[in-house]
Amino acid sequence: MKWKCRYLSQYITILAAVQGLIMLLLVVGCIMASQQAAWPMLLTVTLVLQIGLCFVIYLWIIRPYRQAERMVSLFLEGYSLSSLDNRSMSLSPASARLTEYVKEELNANRLLKLSKRQAQYRALQNQINPHFLYNTLESIRSEALVAGLDSVADMTEALAVFFRYTISKVENLVTVEEELQNCETYFAIQQYRFGPRLRLQIDCDPEDKEEIYRCRIPKLTLQPILENGIIHGTEFKIGAGKLRVKLERTEKLLTILVSDDGVGMGEAALAQLNEQLDKSGRAFQEDKEEHTGGVALVNVNNRIHLLFGEEYGLHVFSIPMVGTDVRITLPIITSNRELMQSEVIS
């Protein structure tokens, strides 16, 4: 079996002992060397051993130490949660226990549940009895139909469908098609408010449409972003607003671009929002429920990070008075088998 130290402190002890032996060799050599001719050889051997020791110190101590230091600093900056898992070596048994403790505190499943709760928070405020809500909406619809108010009936129906999807379907992942349907329902409700001022366009390459629509994505990924686009983008815009959902896929990646042609945001606000998204670890560490802005985006981003890893997630692009794009990158998951391969979900 290959022997390997677990802690840097063990390496330090071993290398200190080796250094001691080298010094001892030098001292003993000095005492023993009676002839002048033996000195160069003694010095050469000591020098070679010393250089070798320096090399080993670099490989075993300095490099892992720097790596560990960088990972911890990135974790503290909020960039990454996974960096703690990737630490190849701990400084000492006590620091290893400390890391384990922090990892336990930041347990992915726990965070995922917390994040899901945050995502559904607003929608679940009235979840004391969802059936009561559906029944009430159905009653309103019936009354509206009897009174000949078709638009009220349609609106009530759309609201019921929206709530049913949001509250009742509790799976982690849904198909893109289901999520898009929910977006269209949400958009239909908003259109009662905005009328023809607001338009929604869904673009997808016809060749890839079937495959893309079968892909699984976290529930309530698109609707909060669409809502953001309406509230922060097009609502403040003078004139008509257009929302666009563009779906593309590569071999391994599903990219969804939610765009609005609203008021956009300045460079500083954009950088701040992307900072929040990139440093999603910070949101978990601080266990924040309230942010300065972009709550929905941060929440969706956190769920994606927890479900699929930090290489996926959200990014925002924006130019003032041109519009905002939210790009969502996700892995291609089309079947339940692929779904179960995800450690967090299983």
Residues interacting with another protein, by CB under 8 A? Answer: 71, 74, 79-80, 83, 86, 205, 207-208, 211, 248-253, 255, 267, 270-271, 274-275, 278, 311, 313, 315, 317-323, 325, 327, 329
Choice between 89 and 161, CB closer to another protein: 89
Choice between 80 and 234, CB closer to another protein: 80
Choice between 213 and 317, CB closer to another protein: 317
Q: Is 37 helix (H, G, I), strand (E, B) or coil?
A: coil
Instruction: Report the nearest approach of another protein to the CB of residue 206 (Å).
Output: 12
Instruction: Report the nearest approach of another protein to the CB of residue 148 (Å).
Output: 42
Instruction: Report the nearest approach of another protein to the CB of residue 325 (Å).
Output: 6
H runs (alpha helix) in the chain: 8-32, 38-57, 63-77, 93-105, 108-124, 130-146, 150-163, 176-194, 206-214, 222-228, 267-278, 280-285, 295-308, 336-341
Instruction: Report the nearest approach of another protein to the CB of residue 210 (Å).
Output: 12
Choice between 134 and 312, CB closer to another protein: 312
Instruction: Report the nearest approach of another protein to the CB of residue 323 (Å).
Output: 8
* Helix (H) / strand (E) containing 319: strand 313-319
CA-nearest of 164, 211, 153, 218 to 186 is: 164
What is the crossing angle of helices 267-278 and 295-308, to 10°? 30
What is the token pair recorded at 13? 């002890």
Query: For the residues of 94-112, what is the DSSP string, one character each?
Result: HHHHHHHHHHHHT-HHHHH
Instruction: Report the nearest approach of another protein to the CB of residue 251 (Å).
Output: 6
Choice between 230 and 247, CB closer to another protein: 247
Choice between 218 and 323, CB closer to another protein: 323
What is the crossing angle of helices 63-77 and 8-32, to 10°? 150
Distance of CA 51 to the CA centre of its chain: 45
Choice between 92 and 274, CB closer to another protein: 274
Instruction: Report the nearest approach of another protein to the CB of residue 155 (Å).
Output: 32
Instruction: Report the nearest approach of another protein to the CB of residue 242 (Å).
Output: 10
Q: Nearest 5 degrees, angle CA 324-CA 81-CA 69?
A: 115
Choice between 51 and 322, CB closer to another protein: 322
CA separation for the pair 101, 82 (Å, rounded): 14
CB 330 within 8 A of CB 342: no
DSSP state of 7: B
Distance of CA 268 to the CA centre of its chain: 22
